[in-house]
Amino acid sequence: MPEPYQNSDQNSFAFTSATKRWPIILTQAIDAVFRAIPGPSDEVKTKEGRKIVEDLAKLKYELQHNRVLPPLRDDGLPDIAHYNDALVALGEPKWMDASWLFSECYLYRRIATYFTTTTKWNTFDVFLSSKLTTLRSSLPAILELAHRYSSVTLPSTFTDEASSLLFHEIFLICLWGNATDLSLLTTLSYDEIQSLQGSHARKESEKNILANDLDEIYTLLTSLKASGQQEIRVDIVLDNSGFELFVDLYLAGYLLSQGLATNIVLHPKNHPWFVSDVLPSDFAILLNALQDPVDFFITRNESEHEIKHDLRTEDTETIKGLFASLATFHAEGKLSIRTNKYWTLQDPFWTLPEQGELWEDLKSSELVIYKGDLNYRKLTGDVAWPPTTPFDKAIQTLGKESGCRTLTLRTCKADVVVGLDEGVDEKLRQEDKDNANDQAKRSWGWGGKYAVIQFCDGKA
């Protein structure tokens, strides 16, 4: 088994994360709490807020001075013992001696304890402000997709080729969903899809997808639909909130309306996690924004002096129509949310088969989609696999004959990558202009320019 990526490896993105990204994130968290402290109007909340600021500053100091990771404060939740037992098993490591996956999960779980052990801050999302800013800035992209929603969710009258093109395009939007530039994905109207004008745009957007199993997914879901199967459940283990959550819901609406899924289960995190990950509360924020777009995107923007947009009456009605569709699916039980503490453990997903009820639930799904880079790191254990390692081998216990179908939609923002053809990694290292003098780094995979769509059929 390859070794996990370590914070001490200066050729890895782990080192960059630990030394540069995490201190900035902690500084922003300190600022967010400081600005939310109410002052004399609420002495208890003010006192607790000042203590949180103190704890965050101490954490930042420990990180930057490579101190030992102390046990997590007990906030009464059952995963604390899981983390603390792992610390003991690891020999109480220092920050720069720890594996990247463990220490980054530990970082966010430790931040959470500062809030969950209070009386006035226990539901405070320290990363909410940045989430809201990002969502509001995404209005142009939301509008573009909203105006096409009614076309792509009509009962299918597309030709087989056009249906395949539409399927691929919506999944590509879901793949690149943390970017708001949809200039390559402009073919979602009925007429454009039907005339196949989107084929060139799709091919352009696929150039940077290094492994692409979408054809298998299209065949799978269309075959299940054609077989007359009564229930076709699709699960999505979510990544980022904001616009990415919007496109995840957009995908859900498309699959449900076309009969490619009969119910969709969404899996968010339980507490603030990796800055932008989806919480249950983020659904309410997004759906409220779609229900009353003028209030969220215009009125509050102006009052908070953020990016300003215009909304015509027809834009407002279009967004509200999309909301009504999603709300109907939810009311009918076809679109649901399930939380589980497992998604914020430090474990690779190789331990999923040990989770009893959660694992049995996932196996009852026809397809489990894992979104984003962290989920990919957990699927592959965040270890230094050779890049040509088959995907089904790298996901270990979730591989063939596991009883679960696994699909990952991942833009590359870390070192680990598998399932590449021979020579692809070497070629990309050589072409990496930012790292031309240091081929030891896989920095081509750090910035989100490249992606993989990889599938393993554990039910075959």
The CATH number that applies at residue 38 is 1.20.930.60
Is residue 180 in some structural domain? yes
Strand-by-strand arrangement of the 263-267 sheet:
209-212, 451-457, 405-411, 367-371, 233-237, 263-267, 335-337
Question: CB burial class (10 A; 0-12, 13-18, 19+) of residue 117?
Answer: middle
Q: Of 123, 153, 186, which marks where a domain is finished? A: 123
pLDDT given for residue 459 in this prediction: 97
pLDDT given for residue 186 in this prediction: 45
Phi, psi torsion values for 45, nearest 5 degrees: -65, -35
**Three-state SS at 366:** coil
pLDDT given for residue 4 in this prediction: 97
| Angle made by CA atoms 443, 449, 453, in degrees to the nearest 5 | 105
Handedness of CA 268, 272, 278, 280 (dihedral sign): positive
Walking along the chain (460 residues) 10 residues at a time, the average pLDDT comes out as 96 96 97 96 97 98 98 96 97 96 98 98 96 89 89 79 87 78 46 53 78 97 96 97 95 96 98 97 97 90 62 95 97 97 98 97 98 97 98 98 98 96 95 77 93 97
**Cβ atoms of residues 427 and 388 within 8 Å:** no
Torsion angle, CA of 114/116/117/123, rounded to 10 degrees? 100
| Angle made by CA atoms 435, 376, 404, in degrees to the nearest 5 | 155
What is the domain range of residue 60?
13-123
- 25 and 148 in a single domain? The answer is no
**Cβ atoms of residues 291 and 140 within 8 Å:** no
pLDDT given for residue 302 in this prediction: 62
Q: Of 89, 123, 157, which marks where a domain is finished? A: 123
By residue count, the chain amounts to 460
Q: For the chain, what is the total number of helices (H) and then of strands (E)?
A: 20, 7
- List, as own/partner pairs, every contact residues 28-31 make where C-beta atoms lie below 8 angstroms and the sequence separation is at least 24, other chains included: 28/130, 29/56, 29/111, 29/126, 29/127, 30/56, 30/57, 30/60
Indicate the pTM of the whole model.
0.94
- 94 and 143 in a single domain? The answer is no
Is residue 49 in some structural domain? yes
Nearest by Cα to 452 from 419, 414, 405: 419
- 40 and 97 in a single domain? The answer is yes
- 227 and 323 in a single domain? The answer is yes
- 105 and 194 in a single domain? The answer is no
Beta bridge partners of 282: none
Rg over CA atoms, the chain: 22
Rounded-to-integer distance, Cα 315 and Cα 320, Å: 9
Is residue 442 in some structural domain? yes
The CATH number that applies at residue 326 is 3.40.50.10880
pLDDT given for residue 165 in this prediction: 85
> Distances in Å between the alpha carbon of 128 and those of 14, 29, 48, 242?
25, 10, 19, 10
Cβ-based neighbour number of residue 195 at 10 Å? 12
**Cβ atoms of residues 262 and 256 within 8 Å:** yes
pLDDT given for residue 185 in this prediction: 45
Nearest by Cα to 425 from 389, 457, 455, 399: 389
